[in-house]
């Protein structure tokens, strides 16, 4: 029997190792068991009932919970690859977690599978969650596939959402909250009760797993439909849509044309999408594994940002309004039902811009239970919102250029990422940098580039597009000097105004509506878009000159060249390319020259 003394189970801080943390955890479990203390609640059947004690029940029967932080703690996360990288601060946090587990009541253990069960990407996952947060454990269990409690897990996550006197990240004025150990297959989460920490912890390990089994793990939604092309042929569209939170990935990844929103298209564009589209399917909302022959989703549910969603986005609306939906930071309306309006709740004085819902894909009405694509990827869309040089939509012909867009991961910050960076131009490699570990972003980009090039060489290219969804064409800006390392450069900075709710918004410009972008997706898939070479990049990138149903004047408004001289456009692009390379050198180093320099002119 293990003696009931802390010295027998808790290592000294200087003795802590990555594997030693796990061994100490097991020692705590054995000690409690030997003393007649229950250490674990093993996949408890009453987990939902436990969670209800902390929740809000809406009038429609759905439940919701609050989190103390309303976005992921990316800046408080560190990836540790080996014991040699462990610093004193890391060891302090690891010890504090062990000390808390020793004192705390039985941890909730939940087993689940991420990745289609039985497929090459199946990953057995086990969550140990502080018992004061049963809602986190329950909601995660509803996102993933049923687990295998009797088998050893591939990955473990220890979720202790308390402040534990956390140390600062070495060399930074930022609390250390999350530690990931990719080569030892576990993650530690503290401080935050935001559901996304647990979800993305497992998905970060799954992205690495997808790479290890020959694919590339991508921050992208998966959607399919069959379209009747202009030539009369029918094509099954297997579409992935990349993007960071707040850029429209869920909006377009789970978009469905139906009889209600078809009226919008009849009225605005004079077409009925349902005359061309059939067999629509939602496959996955967030993270996918892409292989040469298939795309495979990670989860059977969705954890989707829902504020601002309307009935026109029928699939998301239907699932979010289901009595089975499990909400987070989602307000209620005057009738006591869930509201997606973003008018009641606020965070740091700003109206809510990150309401979230765990819902079942089956409740969208367009999910058949299979998260695997019906065939290989044939359409790739990168959501790259910007303020200065971006068209609403372009088609990318050159595989190296497409790989550069992916490597850049250029986007605009959203409060769901962090309230401090909302509205700012950002470079987040592969739209996936916070979730990439174990192998470099460069390795993922090169593997995807080889897929693109192979398909192009055999005459079956993947159609690649870049969309400016939540950006502007074009915002007002001013040139400012900034330092990039030892170099001083001039870059454009958008001019912002602030709403009465404190939301930072760019001044000037226009943006495509959701329906305009979906019209482009439809017509591009049909072969009903005419293009011309980009004025600077030429045949590498094609610019639409006619989109069936979209008025020519509106298309003209969605082109930056309507507002910029060619010389100013070149100046803006050169600044963008310089910025992108500065960030690539840090986030995605060692790219082949044909990718790194693909945008040069």
Residue 368, CA distances (Å) to 104, 279, 283, 317 in order: 41, 11, 8, 18
Q: How far apart, in whole angstroms, are the C-alpha atoms of residue 359 and residue 327?
A: 8
Residue 364's nearest CA partner among 244, 221, 482 is: 221
Residue with tokens 């809000």: 56
Assess contact for 187 and 198: CB atoms under 8 A: no
Residue 1: what pLDDT?
45
Residue with tokens 């969670």: 51
pLDDT at 500: 74
Q: Does 408 score more than 90 pLDDT? A: yes
- Please answer whether residues 505 and 423 qualify as being in contact, where contact means their C-beta atoms are separated by less than 8 angstroms: yes
Average pLDDT of span 432-442? 95
When the pLDDT of each residue in the chain is averaged and rounded to a whole number, the result is: 95
Contact 182, 438 (CB under 8 A): yes
Rounded Cα gap, residues 161 and 244, in angstroms: 24
Q: Which domains does the chain have, with CATH numbers?
A: 6-213 (3.40.449.10), 217-299+371-596 (3.90.228.20)
Distance of alpha carbon 191 from the chain centroid: 21
Q: Is the pLDDT of residue 176 over 80?
A: yes
Largest CA distance in the chain: 81
CA geometry: angle 374, 264, 280, nearest 5 deg:
10
pLDDT band at residue 352 using 50, 70 and 90 as cut-offs: confident
Q: What are phi and psi of 135, to 5 degrees?
A: -65, -35
Rounded distance between C-alpha atoms, residue 28 and residue 497, angstroms = 54
Instruction: Choose the weakest-confidence range: 72-76, 290-294, 415-419, 459-463.
Output: 415-419
**Measured between alpha carbons, how far is 457 from 26 in angstroms, rounded to an integer?**
53
- Helices in 468-565 by DSSP H: which ranges? 514-526, 552-557
Q: Of 46, 217, 220, 203, which Cα lies nearest the Cα of 127? A: 203
Q: Chain centroid to CA 438: how far?
A: 18
pLDDT band at 416 (very low <50, low <70, confident <90, very high): low
Q: Is the pLDDT of residue 424 over 70?
A: yes
Tokens at 518, concatenated: 């979906």
The pLDDT score that the predictor gives to residue 128 is: 98
Share of the chain above pLDDT 90, in %: 91
The dihedral over CA atoms of 295, 250, 187, 139, expressed in degrees to the nearest 10, equals: -110
C-beta neighbour count of 578 within 10 angstroms: 14
| Both tokens assigned to 189 | 């989460």
DSSP E strand stretches across 102-150: 107-114, 123-129, 145-146
What is the phi-psi region of residue 248: left when phi exceeds 0, alpha when psi lies from -120 to 50, beta otherwise?
A: left
- Rounded average pLDDT over 439-455: 98
CA angle 97/98/101 to nearest 5° reads: 85
Query: pLDDT tens, 511-532?
Result: 999 999 999 999 999 999 999 9
Between CA 571 and CA 565 the distance in angstroms is 10
pTM: 0.96
What integer pLDDT is reported at residue 351 of this predicted model?
83
Q: What is the pLDDT of residues 256-280, one digit of tens each?
A: 999 999 999 999 999 999 999 999 9
Whether the predicted pLDDT of 330 surpasses 60: yes
Residue positions counted in the chain: 601
Give the pLDDT confidence of 463-505 residue by residue, as tens digits: 999 999 999 999 999 999 999 999 999 999 999 998 776 778 8
pLDDT 10s digits, 29-84: 999 999 999 999 999 999 999 999 999 999 999 999 999 998 888 899 999 999 99
């Amino acid at each position: 029997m293990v003696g009931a003394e802390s010295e027998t189970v808790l290592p000294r801080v200087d003795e802590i190792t990555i594997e030693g943390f796990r061994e100490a955890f097991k020692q705590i479990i054995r000690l409690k068991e030997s003393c007649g203390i229950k250490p674990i609640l093993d996949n408890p059947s009453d987990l939902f009932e436990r969670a209800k004690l902390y929740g809000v029940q809406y009038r429609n029967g759905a439940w919701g919970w609050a989190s103390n932080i309303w976005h992921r703690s990316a800046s408080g996360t560190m990836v540790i690859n080996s014991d040699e990288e462990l610093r004193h601060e890391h060891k302090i946090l690891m010890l504090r977690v062990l000390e808390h587990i020793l004192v705390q009541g039985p941890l909730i253990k939940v087993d689940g599978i991420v990745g289609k069960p039985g497929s090459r990407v199946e990953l057995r996952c086990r969550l140990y969650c502080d018992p004061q947060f049963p809602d986190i454990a329950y909601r995660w269990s509803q996102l993933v596939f049923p687990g295998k409690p009797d088998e050893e897990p591939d990955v473990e996550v220890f979720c202790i959402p308390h402040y534990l006197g956390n140390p600062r990240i070495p060399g930074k004025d930022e609390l250390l909250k999350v530690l990931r150990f990719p080569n030892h297959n576990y993650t530690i989460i503290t401080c935050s009760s935001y559901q996304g920490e647990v979800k993305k912890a497992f998905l970060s390990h799954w992205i690495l797993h997808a790479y290890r089994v020959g694919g590339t793990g991508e921050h992208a939604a998966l959607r399919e439909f069959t379209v009747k092309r202009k030539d009369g042929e029918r094509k099954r569209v297997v579409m992935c849509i990349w993007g960071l939170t707040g850029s429209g990935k869920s909006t377009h990844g789970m978009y469905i044309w139906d009889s209600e929103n078809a009226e919008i298209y009849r009225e605005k564009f004079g077409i009925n999408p349902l005359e061309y589209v059939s067999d629509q399917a939602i496959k996955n909302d967030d993270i996918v594994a892409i292989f040469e022959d298939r795309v495979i989703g990670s989860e059977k549910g969705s954890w989707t940002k829902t504020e601002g969603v309307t009935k026109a986005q029928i699939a998301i609306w239907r699932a979010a309004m289901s009595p089975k939906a499990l909400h987070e930071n989602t307000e209620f309306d005057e009738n006591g039902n869930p509201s997606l309006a973003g008018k009641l709740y606020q965070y740091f004085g700003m109206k809510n811009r990150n309401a979230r819902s765990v819902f079942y894909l089956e409740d969208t009405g367009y999910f058949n239970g299979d998260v695997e694509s019906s065939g290989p990827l044939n359409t790739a869309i990168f959501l790259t919102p910007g303020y200065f040089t971006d068209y609403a939509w372009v088609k990318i012909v050159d595989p190296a250029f497409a790989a550069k867009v992916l490597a850049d991961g250029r986007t605009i910050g959203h409060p769901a990422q962090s309230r401090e960076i909302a509205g700012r131009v950002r470079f987040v490699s592969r739209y996936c940098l916070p979730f990439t570990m174990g192998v470099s972003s460069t390795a993922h980009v090169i593997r995807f580039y080889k897929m693109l090039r192979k398909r192009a060489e055999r005459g079956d290219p993947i159609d690649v597009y870049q969309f400016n969804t939540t950006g502007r064409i074009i915002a007002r800006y001013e040139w400012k000097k900034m330092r990039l390392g030892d170099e001083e450069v001039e870059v454009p900075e958008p001019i912002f105004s602030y709403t009465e709710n404190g939301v930072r918004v760019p001044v000037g410009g226009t943006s495509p509506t959701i329906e305009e972008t979906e019209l482009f997706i439809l017509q591009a898939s049909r072969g009903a878009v005419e293009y011309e070479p980009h004025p600077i990049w030429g045949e590498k990138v094609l610019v639409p000159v006619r989109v069936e149903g979209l008025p020519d004047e509106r298309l003209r408004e969605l082109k930056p060249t309507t507002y910029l001289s060619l010389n100013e456009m070149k100046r803006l692009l050169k600044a963008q390319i310089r910025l992108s390379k500065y960030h690539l050198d840090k986030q995605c180093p060692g790219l082949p020259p044909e990718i790194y320099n693909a945008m040069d002119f």
